[in-house]
Amino acid sequence: MGNSLRPAGFGTVRAMPASKHSGKALRLGIARNREGPSAMKEGGTNPDSSSPASAALPQTVLEARSVQKSYSTGEKELPVLVDASLKLRRGEMVAIVAPSGAGKSTLLHVLAALDTPTSGGVYFDSKAIETNQDTAIADFRNRAVGFLWQRHQLLPDFTAAENVAMPLLLRGADFASALQTARKWLAEVGLEGRADHRAGELSGGEQQRVAIARALVTGPRVLLADEPTGDLDEQNAWAVFDLVQRLHRAHKLTSLIATHNLALAARCDRVLGLERGVVVTRTAQAGASGTLGGEAS
Ligand code: ADP
């Protein structure tokens, strides 16, 4: 497994450091602390409105409440999300770290309304996303959330600018203005010189930067990223992560990033995990670096 680490909860948990990390690579573990097991589960209480201490917390932008998601495979039901709750507060950048197959993509798809939960709900600005109303869902997907896939999903025969313009064209923008906005976004991700190159001709890192521009071109408030650096070498992974973090801050996004990379996760404001279909809080721990074992999904 090389420098890969097994996730805590499946391995060792170290004591939390008293101070914040400083450039040192970090190891992440499940928070099994003095508050006991109930403190581990994410989103179970509602601290947004109840206590004076929590009154200062930024507003919750996107929330999953007791989401359950099972897949039917033949006669069997595969429970993936059992009771998944989380809150993303305005402006925070949250990582979710869990082994392959734990349900990260499933959770992100449900949060983006790309898939429907078996039970439970997703709330945007405290309003339930009505999964049975096509126009509301299309609007939510188009305007509220930008989705970044691990394997960029670009159309290889279209230019970088055309790929970035696509979500605007799907929203009914005219071609010239969509392309103009796309070029502006390509400049933001440092690819103005590649706007007219076909996506298939770009390097992996460049393709992922085009995908970032495409995820943000509609001006969403939330960015959901599913292993955005999983297909990249270490240098490109850090560069792409730096870019995501810079854009997150510049555009005041609220972001949730699924990753195997513990060092990258430790650069986020909070780190969550997924254990047996439940979202848990993880803590950053100093002393080691690496990625979670298993295939990136
Ligand atoms: P992760 O992103 O953490 O790797 P996924 O959410 O992709 O996990 O998958 C979680 C589990 O659900 C896996 O066992 C996977 O095989 C299964 N799964 C995902 N999508 C489907 C589907 N459409 N039908 C059946 N099983 C699925």
CATH number at residue 237: 3.40.50.300
Closest approach atom of ligand 1 to CA 258: 2
CA of 254 to the centre of ligand 1 (A): 25
Evaluate whether residue 45 is within a structural domain.
no
Average pLDDT score over the chain: 81
Q: Is the pTM higher than 0.85?
A: no
Evaluate whether residue 129 is within a structural domain.
yes
Evaluate whether residue 17 is within a structural domain.
no
Evaluate whether residue 278 is within a structural domain.
yes
* pLDDT score at 57: 73
- Banded pLDDT at 226 (limits 50, 70, 90): very high
Specify the residue with its C-alpha closest to ligand 1, atom 20. Answer: 106
User: Considering its fold, how many domains does the chain have in total?
Assistant: 1
- Banded pLDDT at 142 (limits 50, 70, 90): confident
**What range defines the domain where residue 171 resides?**
58-286
pLDDT for 42-98, tens place per residue?
A: 765 444 444 555 567 779 999 999 999 999 988 889 999 999 999 999 999 999 999
List residues near ligand 1 (CB under 6 A): 71, 73, 78, 80, 98, 100-106, 297
CA of 81 to the centre of ligand 1 (A): 10
d(CA 159, CA 202) in angstroms, rounded, equals 10
Evaluate whether residue 9 is within a structural domain.
no
- Banded pLDDT at 151 (limits 50, 70, 90): confident
CA of 297 to the centre of ligand 1 (A): 9
Q: Shortest CA distance to 274 belongs to which of 20, 132, 101? A: 101
- Banded pLDDT at 13 (limits 50, 70, 90): very low
Evaluate whether residue 153 is within a structural domain.
yes
pLDDT for 160-194, tens place per residue?
A: 999 999 999 988 999 999 999 999 999 999 999 99
pLDDT score of 256 more than 70: yes
* pLDDT score at 55: 62
d(CA 149, CA 166) in angstroms, rounded, equals 15
d(CA 14, CA 254) in angstroms, rounded, equals 29
Backbone torsion region of residue 46, taken as left when φ is above 0, otherwise alpha when ψ lies between -120 and 50, otherwise beta? beta
Q: Shortest CA distance to 281 belongs to which of 6, 5, 14, 43? A: 43
Q: What is the DSSP code string of the chain?
A: -TT-BPPTTSS--PPPPSS---SS-EEEEE---TT-GGGTBTT-S-TTTSSHHHHTSPPEEEEEEEEEEEEEETTEEEEEEEEEEEEEETT-EEEEE--TTSSHHHHHHHHTTSS--SEEEEEETTEE--TT-HHHHHHIIIIIEEEE-TT----TTSBHHHHHHHHHHHTT--HHHHHHHHHHHHHHTT-GGGTTSBGGGS-HHHHHHHHHHHHHTT--SEEEEESTTTTS-HHHHHHHHHHHHHHHHHTT-EEEEE-SBHHHHTTSSEEEEEETTEEEEEEEEES---BBSS---
Q: What's the average model confidence in pLDDT over 235-240?
A: 94
Evaluate whether residue 142 is within a structural domain.
yes
Evaluate whether residue 175 is within a structural domain.
yes
- Which one has a higher pLDDT value, 104 or 138? 104
d(CA 276, CA 15) in angstroms, rounded, equals 23
